[in-house]
């Protein structure tokens, strides 16, 4: 007989998320994914000056703030009919790229890793590494609750591996903080970059700013190449079954992003449905509301019949699509990522828990390489921003197609006489975490279905947690 097992709240993610599963004979047979928080960004921006969205829209999420800033600024630039100078675009890429790498680091080490490694093993450390000695003493004596109470599971328990991973858990926080200083040099501060305006970046960039950025980038790239990618590969080697768990519809979608000075994109845009690659057509995107807490006009309604999530259900020609690094590589049919998956017996880029984890590590390597080259496109003494009247009573529409760590991102602004009349965001986690609609389960709901559940208990299933976290849930974003 089927039993219900919930993970509510899902921790180590951004936001408020509930996962409810039905389990029959040790396998998830049905899943419901619910976003459990709402603020109403699209509606609170109504009536404000469109430029305000460059500041307010970043506050959708404190984890992936820059990406919303860039997306809304891109939409504003369409309304203002302004293109940033070359330097403005270089700086924007330098911010966005480094940000995405730090986002992937947070995801792998601080959010996902505790699902795979048993940190308590490090308590037994008796060697001479002072950092590990400190960590070991801390785990033994500190009474620190947040690292306790992990769900039952088949964790990595061999000492050497755990020692290394635990060290990297803390190292990742340190690298992220250093990378943040690189982002702040260009943008003023993080989270929430205020130097980002329609038309470019306001900051004065001097030779020493670039050198400091470069220094931070080198440190980050070093960690990505020597720790992140090897650690992700090790997790993949130890949990090969997760290449078969967490598969979605294998329908993907990505935007183009990260152009170089020759005009070549690091990622191209496209949609894959039924194994066929098509060009992306924005007019084919619809957000369905039948299982979401909104009435038919889009107003919030917490008591809506049949609704179970604050997330809407986006569909492309009726299909739910997966977004994120795997989608970017699938759409680009990326040879490097294919060969990486090939090491684990895959011939194609398909969606799975482990392919998502590997894709983030591999993408971080690619982005660091890209950033080294891209930062050389910056020309000292040339403009970084074009003047824009930030209070002009502008009228028009703009769409910003940008990229976030978690996938393709759209900000769509309609303005009349200097007031926002419509603001629409279609956010990566909306695609992945949207509920069922028209008889089709949402992307993550589909991914969880079929997951074998060997462990349970009051912590819920570690297996389901692994599948869910592999998408890097950003629930504040998905609901907004």
For another protein, the binding residues in 453-472 under the rule CB under 8 A are: 457-460, 465
Residue 277 Cβ vs another protein, minimum distance, rounded to whole Å: 35
Please tell me the total number of residues recorded for the chain in this structure.
480
Helix (H) or strand (E) holding 35: strand 27-35
Does residue number 123 form part of the binding site for another protein (CB under 8 A)? no
Nearest-10 Cα torsion for 217, 220, 225, 229: -130
Q: Which is nearer to another protein, 190 or 254 (CB)?
A: 190
Residue 121 is classified by DSSP as G
> In this chain, which stretch among 197-205, 250-258, 283-291, 432-440 interacts with another protein, using CB under 8 A?
197-205
Does residue number 22 form part of the binding site for another protein (CB under 8 A)? no
Give the sign of the dihedral formed by CA 120, CA 121, CA 125, CA 131: negative
Out of 25, 145, 208, 381, the residue judged to bind another protein by CB under 8 A: 145
Q: Which is nearer to another protein, 270 or 460 (CB)?
A: 460
Binding to another protein (CB under 8 A) within 356-395 occurs at: 383-387, 389-391
SS3 396: strand
Does residue number 208 form part of the binding site for another protein (CB under 8 A)? no
**Relative orientation angle of helices 207-223 and 159-187, to the nearest 10 degrees:** 160
Does residue number 202 form part of the binding site for another protein (CB under 8 A)? yes
The Cα 113–Cα 106 span in angstroms is 10
Q: Which is nearer to another protein, 56 or 90 (CB)?
A: 56
Residue 82 Cβ vs another protein, minimum distance, rounded to whole Å: 12
> In this chain, which stretch among 188-196, 238-246, 319-327, 442-450 interacts with another protein, using CB under 8 A?
188-196
Q: Which is nearer to another protein, 220 or 332 (CB)?
A: 220
Does residue number 110 form part of the binding site for another protein (CB under 8 A)? yes
Pinpoint the alpha helices (H) of 226-278.
229-238
What angle (nearest 5°) sits at the alpha carbon of residue 339, between those of residues 336 and 340?
A: 85
Burial class (CB in 10 A: 0-12, 13-18, 19+), 400: buried
The Cα 243–Cα 236 span in angstroms is 8
The Cα 234–Cα 181 span in angstroms is 30
Does residue number 421 form part of the binding site for another protein (CB under 8 A)? no
The Cα 129–Cα 115 span in angstroms is 25
Out of 30, 212, 286, 338, the residue judged to bind another protein by CB under 8 A: 212
Binding to another protein (CB under 8 A) within 38-77 occurs at: 38-41, 43-49, 51-52, 55-56, 59-63, 65
Q: Which is nearer to another protein, 184 or 233 (CB)?
A: 184
């Amino acid at each position: 007989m089927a039993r219900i097992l919930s993970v509510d709240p899902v921790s180590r993610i951004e936001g408020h998320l509930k996962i409810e599963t039905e389990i029959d004979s040790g396998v998830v047979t049905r899943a419901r994914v619910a976003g459990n928080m709402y603020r109403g960004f699209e509606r609170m921006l109504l009536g404000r000056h469109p430029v305000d969205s460059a500041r307010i829209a970043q506050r959708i999420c404190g984890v992936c703030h820059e990406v919303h800033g860039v997306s809304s600024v891109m939409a504003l630039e369409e309304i203002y009919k302004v293109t940033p100078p070359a330097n403005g675009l270089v700086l924007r890429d330098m911010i966005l790229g480094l940000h995405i790498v730090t986002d992937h680091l947070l995801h792998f080490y601080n959010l996902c890793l505790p699902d795979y490694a048993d940190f308590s093993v490090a308590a037994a450390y008796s060697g001479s590494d002072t950092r590990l000695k400190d960590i070991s003493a801390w785990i033994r004596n500190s009474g620190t609750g947040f690292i306790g109470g992990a769900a039952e599971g088949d964790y990595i328990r061999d000492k050497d591996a755990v020692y290394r991973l635990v060290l990297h858990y803390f190292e990742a926080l340190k690298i992220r903080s250093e990378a943040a200083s690189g982002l702040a040099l260009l943008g003023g501060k993080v989270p929430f970059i205020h130097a980002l305006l329609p038309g470019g970046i306001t900051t004065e960039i001097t030779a020493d700013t670039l050198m400091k950025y470069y220094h931070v980038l080198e440190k980050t790239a070093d960690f990505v190449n020597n720790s992140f990618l090897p650690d992700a590969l090790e997790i993949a080697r130890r949990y090969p079954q997760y290449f078969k768990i967490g598969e979605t519809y294998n329908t993907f979608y990505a935007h183009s992003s990260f152009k170089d000075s020759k005009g070549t994109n690091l990622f191209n845009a496209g949609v894959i449905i039924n194994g066929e690659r098509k060009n992306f057509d924005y007019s084919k995107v619809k957000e369905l509301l039948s299982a979401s807490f909104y009435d038919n006009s889009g107003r919030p309604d917490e008591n809506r019949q049949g609704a179970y999530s604050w997330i809407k259900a986006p569909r492309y020609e009726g299909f739910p699509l997966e977004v994120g690094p795997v989608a970017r590589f699938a759409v680009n049919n990326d040879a490097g990522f294919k060969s990486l998956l090939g090491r684990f017996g895959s011939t194609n880029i398909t969606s799975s828990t482990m392919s998502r984890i590997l894709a983030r590590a591999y993408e971080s390597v690619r982005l660091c390489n890209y950033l080294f080259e891209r930062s050389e496109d910056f020309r000292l003494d040339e403009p970084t921003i074009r003047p824009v009247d930030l209070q002009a009573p502008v009228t028009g529409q703009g769409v910003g197609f940008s990229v976030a760590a978690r996938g393709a991102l759209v900000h769509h602004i309609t303005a009349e006489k200097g007031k926002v009349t419509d603001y629409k965001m279609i956010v990566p986690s909306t695609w992945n975490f949207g509920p069922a609609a028209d008889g089709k389960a949402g992307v993550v709901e589909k991914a969880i279905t079929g997951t074998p559940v060997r462990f349970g208990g009051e912590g819920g299933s570690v297996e389901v947690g692994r599948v869910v976290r592999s998408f890097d849930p950003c629930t504040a974003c998905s609901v907004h």
